[in-house]
Amino acid sequence: MIEFVPAENDDPAFLALAQRIVNGALSIFEMREAYLIQVDNWFDHKWLGWWSSWDHKKVRKLRVPPFTPNRVRSQKHFIWDTKRSCWTFTGQGKPLHLWQPGRRPSKRIDELSESAAFIWYSGNTLKNRAGSMMLYLSGGELYAWYASFRKAENWTVADEFGITRRELASFEERGRQMELVQA
């Protein structure tokens, strides 16, 4: 499983939820490569598909969202090790968020990898009591979604785009099952 390691001002309960959702999704989609990017703060649904090409609410060309590099707290790259049946950390991977003069579109995700998951999630969740995450998949069928979360007593889904709450719950349940098997 890919572990979400808390940084300063991260709520461990939000990271546990995000970790279950992401690992469940990676397992269901049988991804073999993943980029995990933590952004400094909450971000909204407008980042989903920024500079991407859409056709009737279906993405045709998916681009890396243009977060400025100073917002990116960390970027980690993982490869699925088929021999050991586990994720292997390989460093940062290809740079995704670069300083660019002007307002140029960022790279298409299928230029970065033919079959990878790209996951962005927010930091500063302890103070904000709000969190967000996006998942993009490269490959034949481009796929992208965004979800935001709020914390009252527990973390719950506040909003979603490109995914249903039922799908999020199924990813989370799959991730929870994986944690039990690993324990």
What number of other Cβ atoms are within 10 A of residue 54's Cβ?
Answer: 12
Q: Does a structural domain hold residue 101?
A: yes
pLDDT tens across 134-146, in order? 999 988 677 889 9
Q: Does a structural domain hold residue 6?
A: no
pLDDT grade, residue 73 (50/70/90)?
very high
DSSP assignment of 86-117: EEEE-SS-S--S---SSS----BHHHH-SS-E
Of 129 and 103, the one with more pLDDT: 129
Provide the mean pLDDT of the chain: 89
Q: Does a structural domain hold residue 137?
A: yes
Q: Does a structural domain hold residue 5?
A: no
User: Which pTM value belongs to this model?
Assistant: 0.92
pLDDT on residue 56? 59
pLDDT grade, residue 29 (50/70/90)?
very high
How far apart, in whole angstroms, are the C-alpha atoms of residue 124 and residue 130? 8
- In the predicted model, is pLDDT for residue 46 greater than 80? yes
Q: Does a structural domain hold residue 3?
A: no
Q: Does a structural domain hold residue 37?
A: yes
pLDDT on residue 48? 83
Q: Does a structural domain hold residue 34?
A: yes
- In the predicted model, is pLDDT for residue 64 greater than 70? yes
Q: How many domains would you assign to the chain?
A: 1
Q: Does a structural domain hold residue 24?
A: yes
Range of the domain at 107: 12-182
pLDDT tens across 49-60, in order? 766 555 656 666
pLDDT on residue 50? 63
- Decide the pairing of beta strands 33-39 and 117-122: parallel
